[in-house]
């Protein structure tokens, strides 16, 4: 399936649209029904984080989502180094067929506990609420949820913003593949 690209404004209402679109494209790509809930939540977390960051720093700038089925043709903008793009990496000598979601924001990046894929810690009641936010939790909690839900994740702060890549295997998966610890 050809890649789908979506651009949203830094509006909370647009996060829901992004979730709906990502879930629809994932379903069409052949993602197992049991995994669709995880994609919906992970994409929502990534977009919520991006929207909050844009509202604080650059509210007029758009946020970009790339929805990529690695079994289909790839656009030039999504053909990345395999090391930083797990969906494109071969698996056992065969191209891995994966569904990948890339959320790219343009807000100034700050180091997160979840950058480079490190595991995080449970939130405490002492966490602060970000300026203008409604959450009583650190923004890193959203990234912790993404790390917990996606099969493979990379969070890359860069000069232009932050790129969150999440991917899931396409096709049927065993319960062990999708079951969450705890």
Partner 1 sequence: MDLKLDHHTQDDTEIVVVEGEIDVYTAPRLRELLIDLVNKGNFHLVVNMEKVEFLDSTGLGVLVGGLKRVRAHDGTLDLVCTQERILKIFRITGLTKVFGIYESVQEAIDKRKSK
Contact by Cβ (8 Å): 168, 150: yes
Contact by Cβ (8 Å): 56, 85: no
Among the residue ranges 25-33, 63-71, 111-119, 132-140, the one whose residues contact partner 1 (CB under 8 A): 132-140
- Using CB under 8 A, pick the residue from 7, 12, 84, 116 that binds partner 1: 12
Chain positions 62 to 91 lying near partner 1, rule: CB under 8 A, are none
Beta strands, E only, 52-147: 63-69, 90-91, 94-95, 98-104
Interface with partner 1 includes 157 (CB under 8 A)? no
Interface with partner 1 includes 100 (CB under 8 A)? no
Chain positions 29 to 48 lying near partner 1, rule: CB under 8 A, are 37, 40-41, 44-45, 48
Q: Residue 99: which of 40, 156, 47 has the closest Cα?
A: 40
- Using CB under 8 A, pick the residue from 1, 57, 137, 173 that binds partner 1: 137
- Using CB under 8 A, pick the residue from 6, 29, 68, 144 that binds partner 1: 144
- 97-127 burial code (b ≥16 CB/10 A, e <16): bbbbbbbbbbbebeebebbeeeebeeeeeee
| Binding site residues, partner 1, CB under 8 A | 12-13, 15-16, 19, 37, 40-41, 44-45, 48, 51-52, 121-123, 125, 127, 129, 133-137, 141-142, 144-145, 148-149, 180-182
């Amino acid at each position: 399936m050809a890649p789908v690209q979506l651009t949203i404004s830094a509006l909370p209402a647009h996060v829901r649209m992004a979730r709906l679109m990502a879930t629809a494209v994932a379903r069409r790509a052949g993602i197992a029904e049991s995994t669709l809930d995880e994609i919906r939540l992970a994409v929502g977390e990534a977009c919520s984080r991006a929207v909050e960051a844009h509202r604080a720093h650059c509210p007029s700038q758009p946020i970009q989502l790339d929805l990529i089925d690695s079994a289909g043709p790839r656009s030039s903008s999504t053909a990345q180094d395999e090391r930083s793009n797990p969906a494109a990496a071969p698996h056992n000598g065969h191209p891995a067929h994966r569904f990948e979601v890339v959320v790219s924001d343009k807000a100034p990046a700050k180091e997160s506990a979840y950058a480079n894929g490190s595991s995080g810690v449970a939130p405490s009641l002492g966490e602060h609420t970000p300026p203008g936010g409604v959450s009583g939790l650190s923004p890193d909690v959203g990234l912790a949820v993404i790390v917990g839900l996606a099969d493979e994740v990379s969070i890359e702060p860069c000069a232009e913003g932050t790129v969150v890549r999440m991917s899931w295997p396409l096709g049927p998966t065993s319960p062990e593949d999708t079951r969450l610890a705890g």
